[in-house]
Amino acid sequence: MAAPDLDTLTSLAKRRGFVFPSSEIYGGFASTWDYGPLGAELIRNVKEAWWRRVVHARDDVVGLNASILMHPRIWDVSGHVEHFQDPLVECPACRRRYRADDTPDLRCPHCGEELTEPRMFNTMFKTFVGPVEDEAAVAYLRPETAQSTYVNFKQVFDTARVRVPFGIAQIGKVFRNEITTGNFIFRSREFEQMELQYFVRPGEDDAAHEAWVEARFAWWRELGLDERRLRLRPHRPEELAHYAKATIDVEYEFPFGWGELEGVANRTDFDLRRHAQASGADLSFFDDAARQHVTPYVIEPAAGVDRAALAFLADAYRVQDVRGKPRVFLSLDPQLAPFKVAVFPLARNRAPLVELAARIAADLRRRWPVFYDATGSIGRRYARQDEAGTPFGVTVDFDSLEDQTVTVRERDSMAQTRVAADALPEYFAARLAW
Ligand code: GAP
């Protein structure tokens, strides 16, 4: 199945209410996006699937939900004030700006002019806390969740009854004043991360790094991404972040080419050691075997929620020829699908049909998100749910009133089965289990 182009995907996402351009009634606001009713469900499901796998399915990972604004010294100590910058080049003719590494021939891709010499541009968003806008009030919007995890290391260690090796997971918004954005929700200035900081003994870091790369790669595959569009790519020494000893990216072949979904880094003891020195806090643990205090090494799998949503949407996109007409559907894993079941009374002007369908919908809604749709032709109602990725449709027809059975239609195969109405919760429980 060929991948859809980005315009096709963007227009489906907008038409069905997955993703809208932000501030659209004001003409939009560059590279910012809003998740509509289906998108809000999709990204919740992505985050829940990640949290289930990384936190709840393990006995060695706990969660954290820290604030976005933090003490500004943190970003000095972490090296972000000094290093979190991109080389910016400008076209003297058209004033367009690019990242120097996107324009290797130093010519403007738009008008061909020679670009200016690169100058470094810090991509952290700066703001001011309180009513006075001066240097003393500067704060940053966090560009990664990781630092807020490191500065809470001691608090978690002292309260959560954890022992090294263990991890602290966090999902949250981050902000980067990217020089260039684009490719729909792939690169924007405000996005969400799902990051794990996994603390290990020095010397056990390489094996833990390898194990996390494998575990994270498997997660993407198990949630349905086509293996042929997934690959691992180790960073070259010159592209490693200032804190990393080694990083391996999980990449996906997006409609515009290969791009990073997740980076799995070995951050050594770089961050904890620097925060311990600067704050005076003890960010070590007592290693019984070594009989000494040790600063743990950190393995960090860091994934983007928005890129995950884009990859899952692109990968699930299918067009099928049905009697000479294209049928578009999203073959999303049921775990990720915004709605799990759609319920349709065949006719909306027959009270007993509508009552039975509404009762079925209300009953299923106690366990799953259900979409109820009583209007339009049944074909169009199916088509709408196919494009929304809803894995099952339940149609209540005239026979249902006689024999209390309904038709269940599967999204991908379009196979239809008669199921007793009161057996539906059990029927779906067997098929919507994860
Ligand atoms: N704490 C490590 C860290 O932040 P990163 O590779 O810079 O690592 C992690 O970011 C993930 O965040 C990336 O793999 C990507 O999925 C996502 N990401 C990074 N920049 C992004 C952007 N501008 N827009 C959307 N997602 C982004």
Question: pLDDT tens digits for 127-143?
Answer: 999 998 888 899 999 99
**Ligand 1 atom closest to 249 (CA):** 14
Distance of CA 27 to the CA centre of its chain: 26
Provide the pLDDT for residue 31: 85
* Phi/psi at 169 (5° precision): -105, 145
- DSSP for 13-39, written as a single string: HHHHTSEEETTGGGT--TT-EEE-HHH
Q: Give the C-alpha separation, 229 to 238, whole Å.
A: 26
Residue nearest to atom 20 of ligand 1 (CA): 187
pLDDT for 195: 98
In a domain, 266, yes or no: yes
pLDDT at 2: 65
- Quick one: which atom of ligand 1 is closest to the CA of 185? 25
The pLDDT assigned to 126 comes to 95
- Name the nearest CA neighbour of 400 among 377, 424, 379: 424
Do 273 and 188 lie in a common domain?
yes
| Residue 274 covered by a domain | yes
- Looking at residue 182, its pLDDT comes to 85
- The reported pLDDT for the residue numbered 346 is 96
The CA-atom distances, in angstroms, between 213 and each of 186, 204, 275, 300, 394 are: 21, 15, 26, 10, 40
| CATH number where 184 lies | 3.30.930.10
Tokens representing 72 are 């500004």
So what's the pLDDT on residue 354? Answer: 96
pTM for the whole thing?
0.96
Q: What is the mean pLDDT of each run of 10 residues along the chain (434 residues)?
A: 86 96 94 96 98 98 98 97 93 92 90 93 95 91 98 97 97 95 93 98 98 98 97 97 97 97 98 98 95 97 98 97 95 98 95 96 98 96 97 98 97 98 97 94
The candidate with the shortest Cα–Cα distance to 171, out of 348, 52, 311, is 52
Query: Is the residue at 119 inside a domain?
Result: no
Last residue of a domain, one of 261, 281, 314: 314
pLDDT for 194 equals 98
In a domain, 15, yes or no: yes
Q: Are residues 305 and 350 in the same domain?
A: no
Same domain, 171 and 275: yes
Tell me the pairing of strands 392-396 and 341-345: parallel
Q: Are residues 164 and 308 in the same domain?
A: yes
Query: Cβ contacts of residue 280 below 8 Å, gap of 6+?
Result: none
- For residue 351, give its domain range: 339-429
Measure the CA–CA gap between 264 and 248, rounded to whole angstroms: 5
If one counts the domains in the chain, the total is: 2
Q: Spell out which residues line ligand 1, taking CB within 6 angstroms.
A: 144, 146, 176, 178, 187-188, 191, 193, 195, 260-263, 300, 302-304, 306-307
Burial of 382 from C-beta contacts in 10 A (0-12 / 13-18 / 19+): buried
